[in-house]
Amino acid sequence: MADCHLVSYRKAGFNPVAIASRRPEQAREVSQRHKIPRVYTDYHQLIRDPELEVIDVAVPPDRQAEILREIAVEAPHIRGVLAQKPLGVNYEEAVEIVELYRRNKITLAVNQNMRFDHAVRGCKDLLKRGILGDPVLATIDMRAIPHWMPWQKRQGWVTLRIMSIHHLDTFRYWFGNPQRVFASIRPDPRTSKQFKHRDGICLYILEYANGARASSCDDVWTGPAREGSAEDIGIRFRVEGHEGLARGTIGWPKYPRRTPSTLDYTSIQHGDHWIKPRWKDVWFPDAFIGPMAELLVALERNRQPTISGRDNLKTMALVDACYLSAKEHRAVAIREIMGSTA
């Protein structure tokens, strides 16, 4: 929140007016750093402030649902909420939250911020304009070591709901909803020394009805880069179509050093050469402008945000399908998770 959300909000000209934290002293320090006028000793007080209309909830996944429920029930003046991903600790909890907000007529958005990375959005534009033609194959290759938070020790899971959820949502953003997924996971040797988990290193394949395939290798081990060897760290993506090819990098692993993501593309429509647009903005923190901006615009125009809670249920279903697939060693259709709503 302090290093990404609020930095991006100030850059965009948004107006944060109040803050609360589990530790009041931390809230005071962040309020001074970002010039936020009101500091509350706990979130209960904050959400009852009748002057607030939009809330950004940034808490661990296993604490988020209780706060979202309290906002929906106890704060009728709140018009919009930006929740973090994952929206729930599983698909069922996410469904409960989405239905609660629908009944209480509160606009709910989910902070799937990778959709707002410039290279990811640029690739979406290429697909939308038909520059690449019909998609054939897309891959994301992540070789990066995340900074796991202390609260993750009590979850029992790591990569699929924290990192892979970005890639699964990006595939949905690019190509729509797949029919099924096959996943294989194993613990990360480094993280296993800190706490028990199932899903450190994750590989998965998405199958689409039109024949397109998408796959990702989410490798949070990347070799013994923290144990003394040289490192090879980065995130690369590639999208192949009938008429073109796009390739790119995601600059996040270098954070806090500003490393913009990149996008190169070639197409039979433009001839035998590569086109290489570039941006100065970066995923962390600049892309965090996007989810809040999308929520605010949705409220202004009285529509649902593109990253609505209801849309995010499909991403949550993909994550749960990956867990089920890895557990049972088989492909899992998304309708097995979502039922008749798939």
β-bridge pairing 244-250 and 234-241: antiparallel
What percent helix, strand, coil does the chain show, rounded to 5?
40, 20, 35
pLDDT of residue 339: 86
Q: How far is CA 107 from CA 43, 64, 83, 283, in A?
A: 19, 16, 11, 25
Whose CA is closest to 215, among 293, 136, 146, 317?
136
- Checking if the pLDDT of 342 tops 60, the result is no
Question: Mean pLDDT of all residues in the chain?
Answer: 96
Whole-prediction pTM: 0.96
DSSP 167-223: HHHHHHHHH---SEEEEEEE--HHHHTTS--S-SEEEEEEE-TTS-EEEEEEES--S
At 341, the pLDDT band (50, 70, 90 cuts) reads low
The mean per-residue pLDDT over the stretch 151-164 comes to: 93
Q: Which domains does the chain have, with CATH numbers?
A: 5-113+290-309 (3.40.50.720), 118-283+315-336 (3.30.360.10)
Distance CA 22, CA 291 (A): 24
The predicted-structure confidence for 272-319, as pLDDT tens digits, reads as follows 999 999 999 999 999 999 999 999 999 999 999 999 999 999 999 999
The predicted-structure confidence for 256-271, as pLDDT tens digits, reads as follows 999 999 999 999 999 9
- Checking if the pLDDT of 340 tops 70, the result is no
CA 86: distance to chain centroid? 8
The predicted-structure confidence for 170-186, as pLDDT tens digits, reads as follows 999 999 999 999 999 99
Distance CA 99, CA 90 (A): 15
CA angle 309, 315, 321 (to 5 degrees): 135
Paired tokens of 296 = 């605010």
Paired tokens of 173 = 């953003």
- Checking if the pLDDT of 156 tops 80, the result is yes
Distance CA 291, CA 303 (A): 15
